[in-house]
Structure 1
């Protein structure tokens, strides 16, 4: 179909590209790695972002201004790629999954977004709970978290998509191909035009090899997009609520 373009004739449709992807195993291994990295990254991001945002939303928090200025400074100024790599290497995280999960898991902008959301919750709920004898932990887990689904889902969506689409960190920190995420494998296929030899038979002619290579490229893009396409319909309700946090009414 390279010469005729897209065809709407079902007789010209084929799933050969998907068959070769699943048979090779390289892309599927990268797909599973990306799911693991993005899920772990999202869980770490939600945990620490919600805790930090809720803490900064408390008016009588000791050192609140100092923490806020520190976070804002870190948001605008960072050490750069080389110091970050040296820190990751000194911690022994290079060529491990933690090099993809931990660095960058906590976004300052997400913390500010969460703090704004928590400040918008009625203080009367916490005061009533304290009168009833509830501790700070009980208030947080029984009252605050159930009301925070919109912001939690928004942070989860931002974190998952950001990690899922990222390939640069993996390119820097990972040397073992078995740890490569799907994005790094797609980069080799799409940008560097490298298709694994096992996906294409040696006996095929040059034109046929080019056709199959194109099919593998487009099939890989579809496979990489499936998780995000599946997530959005379920997150849309919460996303619309959480993304408007801090906006003018």
Structure 2
């Protein structure tokens, strides 16, 4: 009878394990490191060039023939222009209003609907669940949505950007699945102690669901901040434009920012058009870049766990 050696046992375990459970090899780790470094550089290098160009003078941009990579002749006149002429600053405030109000409304509606749909005995549980699930397969379409928005008198109003996107079915299902993963014994014990549904939601469910609520809130906020197509459809007045419309007008349509060639503001010389355009890009990117690091640690726990539980 042949004795089973430790080496033989290790070979048997490796034969029974799938390939993705094997420890990474040295070439594999090196390849991952090279790939991740390339991806990071592909993101950071263009962003760095945009930031440097927004702070560059006319001479530096002329010498570089366009986008500047190496910092030279630090100049903030582009930011002075966009925040003193009013066009960009007004669009930023409009986007802030749409993002804050829209995200708040979407989170409230999503959390309430998800909690109700996560309770099997809730009123009209199955019909409402099927109503939300069917939106994954059948979309309303552009023309019916436009007719509904205009017939409700929402055209030329920021509510036309908020109300049609108030509840996202995917986010709703993620939050619902997370709520369903909360032990029912915990909720039943709260009911025995006399807590109502509102108290259970506020004192038990939401404190346990901070991760998924934070991630879904980020999804909503980024969606509202980057909204563009609906703004083009429903907003005709220049005073109501959001920052993405201004960005499109400057970068893609090639319009010159207001104030180029006009008398200097606050003692600064008139900045080049390219610097102003890149400054608008930086201003648009700042909110998402600033908020994302605080939410990143919740992604795995919030979305992956919420999608698999239940």
Higher RCO (C-alpha 8 Å, min separation 6)? 1
1:62-211 superposed matches below 5 A:
62-201=123-262
- Residue 91 of structure 2 contacts residue 240 of structure 2 at CA under 8 Å; is this kept in 1? yes
Q: Which stretches in structure 1 are left out of the alignment for 5+ residues?
A: none
CA apart distance, 1:78: 1.9
Compare CA radii of gyration and give the structure with the larger one.
2
Q: Deviations over 1:115-171 (max 9, x none)?
A: 110011111111111111111221111111111111111111000001111111111
Q: 1:24 aligns with which of 85, 97, 114?
A: 85
Q: Deviations over 1:73-125 (max 9, x none)?
A: 12321221111111111111111121111111210001100111001111111
Tell me if 1:8 matches 2:73.
no
Which secondary structure does the structure 1 equivalent of 2:164 belong to? coil
Q: Which stretches in structure 2 are left out of the alignment for 5+ residues?
A: 1-60
- Residue 99 of structure 2 contacts residue 225 of structure 2 at CA under 8 Å; is this kept in 1? yes
When the two structures are superposed, what TM-score results if normalisation uses the length of structure 1?
Answer: 0.90
CA apart distance, 1:19: 1.7
When the two structures are superposed, what TM-score results if normalisation uses the length of structure 2?
Answer: 0.73
CA distance in 2, matches of 1:45, 1:118: 17
CA distance in 2, matches of 1:78, 1:110: 16
RMSD between superposed Cα atoms in Å: 2.1
CA distance in 2, matches of 1:48, 1:96: 21
CA distance in 1, matches of 2:71, 2:245: 34
Correspondence for 1:215? 275
Task: Quickly say closer, same or farther: Cα 1:139–1:19, change in 2 above 3 A.
Answer: same
CA apart distance, 1:247: 3.8
Correspondence for 2:288? 228
- Residue 211 of structure 2 contacts residue 298 of structure 2 at CA under 8 Å; is this kept in 1? yes
CA distance in 1, matches of 2:227, 2:89: 17
- Residue 247 of structure 2 contacts residue 280 of structure 2 at CA under 8 Å; is this kept in 1? yes
